[in-house]
Amino acid sequence: MKTTAAVLRSADQPYSIETIELPDIADDEVLVRIVSAGICHTDSILRNAAAMLLPIIPGHEGAGVVEAVGAGVTSISPGDHVVLSFDSCGQCRNCADHLNPYCDQFAMKNFVGSKLDGSPPATDLDGKAVASRWFGQSSFATYAIASEQNTVVVDPDADLRLLGPLGCGIQTGAGSVLIALDVQPGESIAVYGTGGVGMAAIMAARVAEAATIIAVDRHQHRLDLAVELGATHTVLAADGVDVAGAVVAASGGGTDYAFDTTGVPAVVTAAVAGLRATGVCGLVGAGGDQLVFDPNALFGKTVVGIFEGNADPQQFIPRMIELWQDGRFPFDRLIETYALSQIDEAEQASLDGSVIKPVLLP
């Protein structure tokens, strides 16, 4: 099966749009015609921290239509509309408890970029191997192979051109609020960083009926949108601003929850300082620097790392779609679409923050 794909061959070079030969699908796999694929900052780690995987087809927020299924696939049929998410084994203790982001095999199924069973890889026109299973999908392409486990059947009436980002970034923000932190009606939360993940958290906090939702960002235009999506207060994190003090003042003594999407140590420190004495700070930002806390700043408080919102995609992605269809979770307002050939422009828009959620339409 041939696919047109955006291949990353060098850490410091643009994507290459190429014809790639996909291998035959295995018994537990599905072939999906990709309709949309969100661009997430996690794809950019392939340019530095994971450059050893190159060449590779990135993309881990795909949505499309099933073209074929393996002989052992029972829950998916050709013609189904699907969203692709992260992969997991579905059998370990955490998967059995619907904590799939903490699957025993998560790293091997998502971060390697290829299957480890010796099956044939995808190849370029010269017959050379190209990694094509980034997060179990590699969806920056017209076709992708995924597993039954990470393929979620969705409402065929939902617009597939908008659904790709639900597989990771939007799921991470919303799941962190509704599942991992379990924000309750009347409680308060501060969200640090209002990109796609942060905006999803703000919308989810409104779904949870939080009384106080504080958006913190360095860009006023993002804060303005955050208010439209559910924030009750904003803090412009300009130079010299006491962010923690502003959050404490806005919340009347500190928030019940803080949610950091930046991974910047100084921001995380401010997030913890802005909590009430028994507050909880959730971290999803992928930062490279160590976090250092004054022990006195942590008395009574909890800091927890969250992956993929603690969500089981098979359960949570349909829930997000239902909320969106009910008008309660307007994630589509974050999206700007690009052709696959515009992937470099879309990637730059994601990295510089000019577009909250770029989505490719292969």
Q: DSSP H helical segments within 212-342, as ranges? A: 220-229, 243-251, 265-273, 313-325
Confidence band of 13 (pLDDT split at 50, 70, 90):
very high
Q: Is 7 buried (19+), middle (13-18) or exposed (0-12) by CB count in 10 A?
A: buried
Residue 242, φ and ψ in degrees, nearest 5? -80, 90
Confidence band of 49 (pLDDT split at 50, 70, 90):
confident
Inter-residue contact 167 to 154 (CB < 8 Å)? no
* Mean pLDDT to the nearest integer, 190-195: 97
Cα–Cα distance, 347 to 325 (Å, whole number): 28
Residue keyed to tokens 């927020």? 61
Cβ neighbors of 81 (< 8 A, separation 6 or more) are 63, 64, 65, 66, 153, 154, 155, 156, 158, 160
CATH of domain 2-167+330-361: 3.90.180.10
3-state secondary structure of 85: coil
pLDDT tens sequence across 91-125: 999 999 999 999 999 999 999 999 888 889 999 99
pTM of structure: 0.96
pLDDT tens sequence across 68-98: 999 999 999 999 999 999 999 999 999 999 9
Cα–Cα distance, 146 to 62 (Å, whole number): 10
What residues does each domain of the chain span? 2-167+330-361, 173-308
DSSP label at 121? P
Q: Which CATH superfamily is domain 173-308 in?
A: NAD(P)-binding Rossmann-like Domain (3.40.50.720)
Whether residue 288 has pLDDT greater than 90: no
pLDDT of residue 287: 67
Query: 55 preceded by cis ω (within 30°)?
Result: yes
Torsion of CA 272, 261, 86, 6, to 10 degrees: -160
The reply to whether 2-167+330-361 and 173-308 are identical in fold is no
